[in-house]
């Protein structure tokens, strides 16, 4: 009977081992399902974050475009104002307008203008021209003290 008992124990072990095998296989399937779910959730969250990032960047670009248009309008207005001011200055520089303003202030045109012409009797050294002819000077001095 001892031989029969050993065979039953071996058979029992084989049966329990075969029954335990499917349970061991079932555990990796559950783990791989969980891994797949975690991977799917991570991928979905990355995609959602990327979409929100792109939408945010587009909103910032639209805001910058609106600011650029406003600045362009300000530049256009400043250029028009500059052109108006240049035209106003040109109008005030007109000789006819200056003459009219002078008459309004009581100014009158001058009569015949006279110019005083002075004769030059001194050379560049401060001597009289007649004395300069008599004095023998340095050969370079006439070049340096030419009459202008």
CA distances (Å), origin 84, targets 2, 48, 66, 97, 120: 123, 54, 27, 18, 52
Residue 19 sits in the same domain as residue 89:
yes
pLDDT above 60: residue 110: yes
Query: In terms of residue numbers, what domain contains 140?
Result: 115-148
Q: Please indicate, yes or no, whether residues 20 and 92 belong to a single structural domain of this protein.
A: yes
**Number of domains the chain contains:** 2
* 105, 124: one domain: no
State pTM to two decimals. 0.40
Banded model confidence at residue 117, pLDDT cuts 50, 70, 90: confident
Mean pLDDT is highest, among 41-45, 88-92, 142-146, for 41-45
The answer to whether residues 18 and 64 belong to one domain is: yes
In this structure, the answer to whether residues 123 and 106 fall within a common structural domain is no
**70 and 94 housed in the same domain:** yes
> Does the pLDDT of residue 137 top 60, yes or no?
no
Rounded CA gap, 11 and 6, in Å?
9
Same-domain pairing of 73 and 142 = no
Examine the domain organization and report whether 53 and 29 are in the same domain. Answer: yes
* 134 and 96 share one domain: no
Question: Do 28 and 84 share a structural domain?
Answer: yes
* 143 and 105 belong to one structural domain: no
- DSSP label of 122: B
Q: pLDDT digit string (tens) for 19-35?
A: 545 554 445 556 778 88
Most confident of 23-32, 56-65, 95-104: 56-65
């Amino acid at each position: 009977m001892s031989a029969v008992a050993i065979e039953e124990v071996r058979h029992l072990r084989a049966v329990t081992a075969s029954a335990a095998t499917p349970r061991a296989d079932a555990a990796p399937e559950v783990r791989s399902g969980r891994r797949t779910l975690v991977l799917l959730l991570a991928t979905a969250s990355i995609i959602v974050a990327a979409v929100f990032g792109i939408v945010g960047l587009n909103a910032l670009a639209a805001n910058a475009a609106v600011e650029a248009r406003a600045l362009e309008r300000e530049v256009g207005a400043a250029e028009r104002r500059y052109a108006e001011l240049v035209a106003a200055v040109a109008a005030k520089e007109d000789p006819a307008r200056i003459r009219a303003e002078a008459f309004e202030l009581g100014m009158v045109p001058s009569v015949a203008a006279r110019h005083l012409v002075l004769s030059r009797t001194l050379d560049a050294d401060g001597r009289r021209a007649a004395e300069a002819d008599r004095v023998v000077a340095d050969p370079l001095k006439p070049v340096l003290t030419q009459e202008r």
